[in-house]
Amino acid sequence: MYGGNTHALRDVSLNVGAGEIFGLLGPNGAGKSTLVKVLLTVVKPTVARGAMLGKPIGDKKTLARVGYLPEQHRLAPYLTARQAVEFVAALSGVDRATRKKRAAELLDRVGLSKWMDRRVNVFSKGMRQRAGLAAALVNDPQIVFLDEPTDGVDPVGRVEIRDLLIQMRREGRTVFLNSHLLGEAEQVCDRVAILVQGRVVKQGRMDDLQREGSRQELIVRWSGSGASAGVGAQFAANGSAIARSLPFRGMNIAPTVLADGTHQYVFGDVDAAAAQPALAAAIATGGEIISLIPMHQRLEELFMKIVVDPTTGKAPPPGAGS
Amino acid sequence: MTAFTAILVDGYRELVAKKLFTLSMILSLLVVAVIGIGGLNEQGVTIFGFTIEVPMINSTMFTPAEFYKFMFNSVGVKFWLGWLACLLALVSSAGMFPEMVSSGVVENMLSRPIPRWRLYIYKFTAGLLFTSLQMAVFCLASFLVIGLRGGAWEPGLFLAIPLVTLLYSYLFAMSALLGTVTRSAIAALLLTILFWGFLFTVNSAETIVNGFRIGSVKECQAIEALMQKRKKENPDVDVSDLQTELERDQSTLSNLALWHRVVFALKTVLPKTDETTSLLQRWTLEASNMQDEGADDAEEVAATAQKQRRRGGPGFGNSRAKTSVVVAAIEADQRSRGVGWILGTSVAFEIVTLGVGCWLFSRRDF
């Protein structure tokens, strides 16, 4: 709670499984970073119940098995990348021999092998981010919290970091990813939660969430020449396309006329068999099937639906309010 | 221990990266070099074969070893390390705590399996490296200079390392607290210097008031002795003038004693920066025994004191007590303040300051 009556987070309940990549999404000020800070004892919550790696939240010893890349983290400018990573390892209680070995390995893995003995103050933002990732992994953590890991990283670097996340999952680590880059989250996350004004408004498996809004889009051309001419052509001529509906799961689906004159039908799931009666009806009445495309809900669409107020078209202000 | 060592090593790297540390180290060696270059002959102090006549400082008054020890203590420790080097250390390390609690850094520190209070104490200890390393180099160089030039090998000089580090730690504890609260290096530095100035003011006030108080005690004693002497010579003599003088001085003494109690109480709870470094003088230099020169007679002393005052000379406002007696009494009073009182009360203040800092650092959200 900030300032006495503003709740940064309220009634947040999450369940993150071992070995999965969990994405925590939300607009700026939703409380994503604060939630991670609560889990990692950087912020002390009014109340927090739960367990991380089998120990109560706030247990300091557990943090030896946790990695963390804070948002806009800063490594000491007077240290080399190797020294900075080793320093973080030492704070986590990693012995000297192990931290030396792991620091070199990880810096190599994030593409800084030639830079590991250069001071961090000459690094670009992307290079610092890579060094930070190495530091987050140096204590061989079971769970890694990454707060905007691709912030400031070039496209090639982003792909490399995405591969690194997948590799972490393969190694059995749990990755807790805070991001507002929905495309990236969509590509790597097994499960996501969307946080708005300090509350979790949606969470679930990525494929379930995608399925929720999945659909098929059928494009039919009614007008034109040859075999397609007939009833369809009469429709186009009459301008009464809305009346030309097609059957889908016992309902009649009305089309939308697109700019090129074709008609778009949207069916409520991706089951191709369910679309067969509509295809048959369209062909039978002289329609030309242009395409039938299964469409999964994009994370961005889901996010916008949840976050943006449909009446104002704006995202809500930060914080959970009083 | 892994984390503690890592924070110490990190602190060392941070210092080395700062030019001020290197500059301060060079200046320390220069100060020792200047002390080493100097010498003594019968006329005064010699530098590169030239003689500078300095009253009371020549080879008839001091042996070479005493001269170098005196220079080490008064110029090296009291002036350079006790003031200037401490100031440079404060400037250099004022940013340590604000940097540690800044966004992007503090998260990495606090999300580790170390209690916050330990992080605070580890960082504080790392901050003392500046002074302790500098003191180590300074003392080693001074030890060699005094040994080679003065012919006295004085391992007691190395006591300066813990003493000056302790003196700096009083100030750095305050700097750490202020840096944690304000999160600003400039604010921490300026407020710490202000605090140091306050300590200096309280110490000076106590020294001055105590000087006058002791002077007044000695004055009363001198008047009483004079009254007895006159009565002994002539039982019928009128000493009402002395009686009036005595009553006036006793009244002054009463006021001074009250003020001294107040200032002394304040000083007791605060760190004693000056007295901490003075301990080195106690332990490494012989006490300067002032010789009683001149008359013992109180009337003669009064006449001499009047002459001195007319010339604007020294005195504690007393006209009958001998200056040397007063000075000796002040020195005795200062020496009566035990090491336990000087260091114990100072360290107690430091522990409280550190405790408040740890408490704030542990409670705060970052």
Domain co-membership, A269 together with A175: no
| Strand-pair partners of A292 | A218
Q: Is residue A239 part of a domain?
A: yes
Domain co-membership, A147 together with A90: yes
pLDDT at site A191: 94
Domain co-membership, A107 together with A221: no
Q: What is the four-CA torsion angle of A218, A219, A223, A226, rounded to 10 degrees?
A: -90
Query: Beta strand pairing status for A251-253 and A191-196?
Result: unpaired
CB-nearest to B108 from A43, A83, A88 is A88
- CATH code of the domain containing A72: 3.40.50.300
Q: Which two tokens stand for residue A221?
A: 């051309």
pLDDT at site B239: 84
Test B14 with A70 for CB contact under 8 angstroms.
no
pLDDT at site B196: 96
Contact A107, A82 (CB under 8 A): yes
Domain co-membership, A199 together with A238: no
Test A44 with B363 for CB contact under 8 angstroms.
yes
Tens digit of pLDDT for each residue in B154-180?
Answer: 888 898 899 999 999 999 999 999 999
Test B110 with A70 for CB contact under 8 angstroms.
no
The H or E element that residue B327 is part of is: helix B323-336
B contacts of A42 (beta carbons < 8 Å) = 106-107, 110-111, 365-366
A contacts of B7 (beta carbons < 8 Å) = 91
Structural domain ending residue among the three candidates A147, A181, A210: A210
Structural domain ending residue among the three candidates A170, A189, A210: A210
B contacts of A63 (beta carbons < 8 Å) = 111-113
pLDDT at site A188: 93
B111 touching A (Cβ < 8 Å)? yes
Average pLDDT of A30-54?
91
Tens digit of pLDDT for each residue in B114-124?
Answer: 999 999 999 99
Give me the helices (H) in B75-115, please: 86-93, 96-100, 106-110
| Strand-pair partners of B38 | B47
Test B365 with A72 for CB contact under 8 angstroms.
no
Domain co-membership, A254 together with A199: no
| Percent of chain B clearing pLDDT 90 (strictly above) | 46
| Cα–Cα distance measured from residue B304 to residue B325, given in angstroms and rounded to the nearest whole number | 14
Q: Which two tokens stand for residue B78?
A: 């009291």
pLDDT at site B338: 86
Min Cα distance B359 → chain A (Å) is 14
* Pick among A80, A91, A94, A146 to test the B interface (most B CBs inside 10 A): A91
Q: Is residue A307 part of a domain?
A: no
Q: Where residue A86 falls among pLDDT bands split at 50, 70, 90? A: very high
A contacts of B3 (beta carbons < 8 Å) = 90-91, 93
| Cα–Cα distance measured from residue A77 to residue B104, given in angstroms and rounded to the nearest whole number | 13
Q: Is residue A187 part of a domain?
A: yes
Min Cα distance B18 → chain A (Å) is 9
pLDDT at site A233: 42
Q: Is residue A265 part of a domain?
A: yes
| Percent of chain A clearing pLDDT 90 (strictly above) | 50
A304 touching B (Cβ < 8 Å)? no
Q: Where residue A6 falls among pLDDT bands split at 50, 70, 90? A: low
Q: Is residue A316 part of a domain?
A: no
Domain assignment of residue A32, given as a range: 21-210
Average pLDDT of A197-222?
87
Domain co-membership, A36 together with A181: yes
Min Cα distance B89 → chain A (Å) is 18
3-state DSSP of A119-144: EHHHCCHHHHHHHHHHHHHCCCCCEE
pLDDT at site B259: 95
Test B110 with A83 for CB contact under 8 angstroms.
no
Structural domain ending residue among the three candidates A183, A210, A237: A210
Domain co-membership, A89 together with A192: yes
Q: Is the complex ipTM more than 0.85? A: no
B311 CB-near residues (< 8 Å, 6+ apart):
none
DSSP state letters, A240-266: -GGG--EEETTEEEPPEE-TTS-EEEE
Domain co-membership, A58 together with A151: yes
For residue A32, which of A49, A6, A14 has the smallest C-alpha distance? A14
| pLDDT exceeds cutoff 60 at A107 | yes
* Pick among B12, B21, B108 to test the A interface (most A CBs inside 10 A): B108
| Percent of chain A clearing pLDDT 70 (strictly above) | 90
B104 touching A (Cβ < 8 Å)? yes
Q: Which of A75-79, B22-26, B170-174 has the lowest mean pLDDT?
A: B22-26
Q: Is residue A319 part of a domain?
A: no
B contacts of A71 (beta carbons < 8 Å) = 104
Top pLDDT among A288 and A234 is at: A288
Domain co-membership, A109 together with A77: yes
Tens digit of pLDDT for each residue in A113-138?
Answer: 999 999 999 999 889 999 999 999 99
Min Cα distance B357 → chain A (Å) is 17
How many domains is chain A partitioned into structurally?
2
Domain co-membership, A89 together with A189: yes
Top pLDDT among A223 and A281 is at: A281
Q: Is residue A171 part of a domain?
A: yes
The whole-chain average pLDDT of chain A stands at 86
Q: Is residue A34 part of a domain?
A: yes
Tens digit of pLDDT for each residue in B269-327?
Answer: 999 998 888 887 777 654 333 334 444 555 665 565 555 545 444 444 556 777 888 88
The H or E element that residue B267 is part of is: helix B240-269
| pLDDT exceeds cutoff 90 at A297 | no
- CATH code of the domain containing A280: 3.30.70
Please identify among residues 2-61 of chain B the ones whose CB lies closer than 8 Å to any CB of chain A.
2-3, 5-7, 10, 13-14, 16-17
Q: Where residue A261 falls among pLDDT bands split at 50, 70, 90? A: confident
Domain co-membership, A84 together with A225: no
Test B366 with A42 for CB contact under 8 angstroms.
yes
| pLDDT exceeds cutoff 80 at B139 | yes
Min Cα distance B39 → chain A (Å) is 43
Tell me how far the alpha carbon of residue B29 is from its chain's centroid: 21
CB-nearest to B115 from A37, A60, A79 is A60
Domain co-membership, A252 together with A168: no
pLDDT at site B337: 85
CA angle A183, A185, A191 (to 5 degrees): 135
pLDDT at site A226: 37
pLDDT at site A15: 87
| Cα–Cα distance measured from residue B192 to residue A196, given in angstroms and rounded to the nearest whole number | 44
